[in-house]
């Protein structure tokens, strides 16, 4: 688990240090960033953001750390 890392995901991706996943479900778009080449979706190494139909976004459990699981994205509580 990586916590306390608050780097800009766009900068990580540009540097080739992060991967991104996007999924849509239940009227939401989920965007996940994880460090590494091919992280497991079940590993707690993801920072997940949920975007609603109005374009508002929030983070899984209200945190911007790389410590969530992508496969559990729909089960988290989302807050700014």
Domain assignment present for 3: no
Local mean pLDDT, 10-residue blocks, the chain (80 residues): 54 69 95 86 94 95 93 96
Q: How many domains does the chain have?
A: 1
pLDDT of residue 79: 95
Q: What whole-number distance in Å separates Cα of residue 18 and Cα of residue 70?
A: 14
pLDDT of residue 16: 61
Domain assignment present for 17: yes
Domain assignment present for 67: yes
Domain assignment present for 4: no
Residue 63 structural domain: 9-79
Q: What whole-number distance in Å separates Cα of residue 56 and Cα of residue 22?
A: 16
pLDDT of residue 1: 45
pLDDT of residue 18: 74
Q: What whole-number distance in Å separates Cα of residue 6 and Cα of residue 65?
A: 7
Domain assignment present for 69: yes
Domain assignment present for 1: no
């Amino acid at each position: 688990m990586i916590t306390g890392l608050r780097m800009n995901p766009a900068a990580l991706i540009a540097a080739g240090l992060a991967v991104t996943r996007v999924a849509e479900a239940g009227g939401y778009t989920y965007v996940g960033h994880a460090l590494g080449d091919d992280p497991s979706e079940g590993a707690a190494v993801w920072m997940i953001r949920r975007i609603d139909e109005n374009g508002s976004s929030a983070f899984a459990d209200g945190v911007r750390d790389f410590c969530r699981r992508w496969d559990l994205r729909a089960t988290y509580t989302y807050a700014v």
